[in-house]
Amino acid sequence: MGEVKVNYDSLLASAPVLETEAELSKKEIEELPDIRESIIQIGKSHDNCFSNISDEMEINLNNVLTEITNLSSDIVTTVNTFSQAELALIDSIKINSIGLDNAIKYQHTKTYETSLTGYDYEYYQELLNKALSLAKTTRAKSTMAAIFLSTTFPHMNYFWGGGHDKISEGLDPTWGTPKVVTAAGSDTTGTKQPNSLDCSGYISWSLKNGGYDISKPMVTGELEQLGEKIPITGSAEKNIQAGDLASMEGHIGMIIKVDGNEITVSHCSGTGGMSITKMNTATGLVTEDWNKEANRVGQPYFTDIIKVNYNV
């Protein structure tokens, strides 16, 4: 099959229709358990005729419900990551979509309920490949990779020094398995933790898997050298884009959305692991945080923006 050509104007024009249809589908899916229960009760009320069939029917209905729910989730994820990472980078197009923003929040919240331990490597690797294939530029692919780990992949904990022995091509099958923390300087050093990434390991992984020419994992200070570093306050006039980085002393994340004075940053935090934080670039204060363990709203957090040069 040849490459799919996307008409962006048409896609944006159809966004409200797509969101309406998604809401209708969501309601229909919510009704499926009731329909399932009705079918089961019909079967059980005729046990003298086909009791074994009704038991088998219940198992099949459960499987169908699971498959439909997973498919619905995958569709939301794919549409969401595509719109946020690719369309947000196109000049003269500004996305104002409450529906898609809520989709990112829903998907990020859902990851908290999915255990990283024993994750289905082949399933998520295929999803990652599909997501990355939708983006066309290195900046978009890097942003897509960052969004994938924070909104689609099972919730990742923070692992001190994680991702600094190497940058995995694609997902790392050992993520979630117990591993000794060997990097010095943390109260977790010497203990066994689920293998994952730290903040700079996460950004290094996102850049590498987005196609950026990075040969080895970088620490925060090195990542801050990838472009012009400017203070976060007043940076709205500096043409910040998705794919740029947000940093503070010893911590770094990737900007996945820009909307006027508000930036949305995905980062792997020592508090709660994978996080998404929104900040106002005029005030330098956090406006919203989806990390269940964080208490950042109304507080300063990231202090600088790194305008990454993707044309190297």
The whole-number mean pLDDT for each consecutive block of 10 residues of the chain, a chain of 312 residues, reads 41 47 56 64 56 56 58 50 46 39 66 81 86 81 89 91 95 96 95 96 97 94 96 84 94 91 94 93 94 89 96 77
Q: How many domains does the chain have?
A: 1
Q: Is position 1 within any domain?
A: no
According to the model, what pLDDT value does residue 32 have?
A: 62
What range does the domain containing 158 cover? 9-308
Q: Name every residue whose Cβ is closer than 8 Å to that of residue 28 and which is 6 or more positions away in sequence.
A: none
Q: What is the pTM of this model?
A: 0.71
pLDDT of 260: 85
Does residue 159 form part of some domain? yes
Q: Is residue 3 part of a domain?
A: no
Residue 285 is predicted with a pLDDT of 97
Looking up tokens 């996460």, which residue turns up? 202
- Asked whether the beta carbons of 254 and 151 are under 8 A apart, the reply is no
Q: Tell me what pLDDT residue 151 has.
A: 83
Question: Does some domain include residue 58?
Answer: yes
In a 3-state reduction of DSSP, which class is residue 253? Answer: strand
Kindly state whether residue 268 falls inside one of the protein's structural domains: yes
In a domain, 280, yes or no: yes
Residue 2: inside a domain: no
Report if residue 4 sits inside a domain: no
Q: Quick one: residue 8, left, alpha or beta (phi over 0 = left, psi -120 to 50 = alpha)?
A: alpha
Are 287 and 262 in contact by the 8 Å Cβ rule? The answer is yes
